[in-house]
Amino acid sequence: MPQKTINGTVIDVNEEGYMTDHSQWNREIAAALAAEENITLTDAHWKILDFISKDFGEKGVVPGMRRMNKIGNIPTKELYALFPDGPIKKAAKISGHPKPASCV
């Protein structure tokens, strides 16, 4: 299994860089993963990351765009503004969850 070192911490990842062991995730890891995507996390980002983690805990899958809009009350424009070029994939990666099945 591939591994990656972030801020001196070794994490397990898959070939696409998504974490495979969420127990290794923390806010510092998230900030480092976000920086790799040229994103500096703000409170608005954390609102989305927290929603993904909560929903993943309940459903066992990363929420898709429609669920983010309807249940999370997060507009599509906001998702794209905060996580450009693939907001669900980037947010899932930064939140330490697997790549969403709906994303290629």
Active site residues: 103
Burial class (CB in 10 A: 0-12, 13-18, 19+), 38: exposed
Helices 87-94 and 27-36 pack at an angle, to 10 degrees, of 140
